[in-house]
């Protein structure tokens, strides 16, 4: 995570793109540009004309494709190209705002002039991004932009509902002896039940259930599978923590305020 402060003094938590992801995104864009340039040269050759005319038209078309693609795409999409779409990236200003034509122009010119230029061994931007703390290439430094990831990691699965017949027992549980480490391990296991195969799932559930049962009381009203027991304990602890936090965030209504405050 990278924390940036906007002009309105708002703190933003952004996730800068990593260098390998940016490399793959740039390779996709370069491949598209190369394909479009080849197609343009093929069309010019088929149309015919004098060799000098073909070379001039081909050169102009390739330059327009090279610079126009990056600049136009980032301007119209506010910081995204086809490669960025494919990898879930977006270029934004250092204050978190959307990229405009000025930033897109500077990024596009610098990409071919320095970052991916022959005199830098096509590695200028890679080296700069590798040594920069926020993964910026030369174009980002000059334009005042940063490339961030727009795809959030997949969230954990929801906790299962509490069985109706276990609600009274869960409400009477003594949970003060449970350590935070044991609760965290149990919650992670409960939320990942569907992703585990049968044997490790049963082994981990049995081990954690024994540890949790040794630190809780009373015993359940009926024999429970370790998975059901862990889920019930975690759901009940989550309910109690939610109620405790809600009590702290209590806001009085107008009728509850003193007369001078109404």
**What tens digit of pLDDT does each residue of 202-227 get?**
999 999 999 999 999 998 888 889 99
Q: Are residues 48 and 72 in the same domain?
A: yes
Q: Are residues 124 and 31 in the same domain?
A: yes
Q: Are residues 20 and 128 in the same domain?
A: yes
Q: Which of 30-34, 109-113, 239-243 has the lowest mean pLDDT?
A: 239-243
Q: Are residues 103 and 181 in the same domain?
A: no
Model pLDDT, residue 257: 62
- Classify residue 46: in a domain, yes or no: yes
- Name the pTM for this structure: 0.62
What's the mean pLDDT in 132-160? 85
- Classify residue 261: in a domain, yes or no: no
- Classify residue 76: in a domain, yes or no: yes
- Classify residue 262: in a domain, yes or no: no
**What tens digit of pLDDT does each residue of 233-250 get?**
999 999 998 888 877 766
Residue 177 has pLDDT above 60, yes or no: yes
- Classify residue 193: in a domain, yes or no: yes
Model pLDDT, residue 236: 92
Number of domains in the chain: 2
Q: Are residues 111 and 181 in the same domain?
A: no
Range of the domain at 63: 2-149
Q: Are residues 236 and 171 in the same domain?
A: yes
Q: Are residues 77 and 102 in the same domain?
A: yes
Distance CA 35, CA 38 (A): 5
Q: Are residues 137 and 183 in the same domain?
A: no
What's the mean pLDDT in 150-164? 78
Q: What is the DSSP string of 43-81?
A: HHHHH---HHHHHHHHHHHHHHHHHHHHHHHHHHTTS--
Q: Which two tokens stand for residue 222?
A: 């009926």
Model pLDDT, residue 163: 87
What's the mean pLDDT in 51-63? 92
% the chain with pLDDT above 70: 87
Please, which contacts does 106-110 make with residues 24 or more away whose CB atoms are closer than 8 Å?
A: 106/139, 106/142, 106/143, 107/70, 107/71, 107/74, 107/139, 107/140, 107/142, 107/143, 107/145, 108/67, 108/70, 108/71, 108/74, 108/139, 109/67, 109/139, 110/137, 110/138, 110/139, 110/142, 110/143
Q: What confidence category does residue 258 fall into, taking pLDDT thresholds of 50, 70 and 90?
A: low
- Classify residue 255: in a domain, yes or no: no
How confident is the prediction for the chain on average, in pLDDT? 87
Model pLDDT, residue 3: 52
Distance CA 71, CA 110 (A): 11
Q: Are residues 23 and 90 in the same domain?
A: yes
Q: Are residues 57 and 88 in the same domain?
A: yes
């Amino acid at each position: 995570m990278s924390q940036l402060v906007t002009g309105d003094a708002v703190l933003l938590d952004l996730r800068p793109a990593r260098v390998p992801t940016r490399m793959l995104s740039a390779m996709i864009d370069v491949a598209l540009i190369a394909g479009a340039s080849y197609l343009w040269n093929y069309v010019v050759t088929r149309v015919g004309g004098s060799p000098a005319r073909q070379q001039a038209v081909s050169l102009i078309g390739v330059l327009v494709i090279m610079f126009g693609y990056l600049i136009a795409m980032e301007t119209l999409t506010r910081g995204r190209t086809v490669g960025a779409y494919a990898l879930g990236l977006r270029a934004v200003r250092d204050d978190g705002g959307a990229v405009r034509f000025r930033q897109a122009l500077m990024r596009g010119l610098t990409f071919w002039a320095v970052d991916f230029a022959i005199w830098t061994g096509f590695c200028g931007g890679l080296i700069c991004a590798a040594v920069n703390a926020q993964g910026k290439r030369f174009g980002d430094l000059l334009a005042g932009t940063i490339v961030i990831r727009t795809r959030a990691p997949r969230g954990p699965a929801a906790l299962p509902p509490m069985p109706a017949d276990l609600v009274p027992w869960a409400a009477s549980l003594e949970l003060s002896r449970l350590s935070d480490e044991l609760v965290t391990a149990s919650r992670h296991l409960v939320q990942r039940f569907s992703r585990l195969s049968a044997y490790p799932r049963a082994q981990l559930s049995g081990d954690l259930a024994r540890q949790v049962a040794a630190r809780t009381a009373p015993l359940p009203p009926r024999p429970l599978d370790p998975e059901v027991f862990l889920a019930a304990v975690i759901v009940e602890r989550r309910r109690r923590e939610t109620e405790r936090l809600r009590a702290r965030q209590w806001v009085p209504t107008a009728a509850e305020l003193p007369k001078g405050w109404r």
